[in-house]
Amino acid sequence: MQSEMKRIIYPGTFDPIHNGHLDIANRAAKIFDELVLVVAINKEKNPLFTSDERIALIEKCVVDIKNVRVSSFNGLVVDYAKSEEAVAIIRGLRHVSDFEFEFQMAMMNYNLNPEITSMFMMPDEKYIHLNSTVIKDVARLGGDISGYIPESVKSALLEKYRS
């Protein structure tokens, strides 16, 4: 009997993608048949990179993961998950401070669509302090961001702050 394909979506702003996001993506791709990284268009968050730029950066970073696809959405994440026939949404958890927001979001998503399971994964300890906002601030002020983001993302970020 052929088992059903298990697809999971990993939504986020990814402005830009960093090594913590990639750690979660690598782990999730090993567990599920297909992982879809989904860029939330999120204009209200005023992202530094356009959604097309964020997608292109992610695509470069995940070329070595065979079962990954990159997409974008504008709207409710549960609706997007349903349109992809995904079984679950994965989110990263870094600190207790992430928990409160993620817990509320997960409960809301269960109310909106009980079929879609929310799952949480912790990154390797070395990525626990990483977030896109801090990386952008350090890059803007001329600090060294190597080790936090892939080279291609670093070049794109430095380019943004040069212009």
> Which residues make up the interface to ligand ADP (CB under 6 A)?
12-14, 20-21, 24, 40, 91-92, 94, 98, 123, 127, 130-132
Residue 71 a catalytic site member: no
Q: Which is nearer to ligand ADP, 87 or 127 (CB)?
A: 127
Choose the catalytic residue: 45, 95, 126, 129: 45
Name the helix (H) or strand (E) containing 102. Answer: helix 96-112
Do 90 and 68 touch, CB atoms closer than 8 A? Answer: no
Task: Compute the radius of gyration of the chain from its Cα atoms.
Answer: 16
- Dihedral pair phi/psi, residue 158, rounded to 5°: -65, -35
Residue 82 a catalytic site member: no
Beta strand pairing status for 7-12 and 117-121? unpaired
Q: Smallest distance, Å, CB 83 to ligand ADP?
A: 18
Q: Which is nearer to ligand ADP, 5 or 137 (CB)?
A: 137
Active site residues: 21, 45, 94, 132
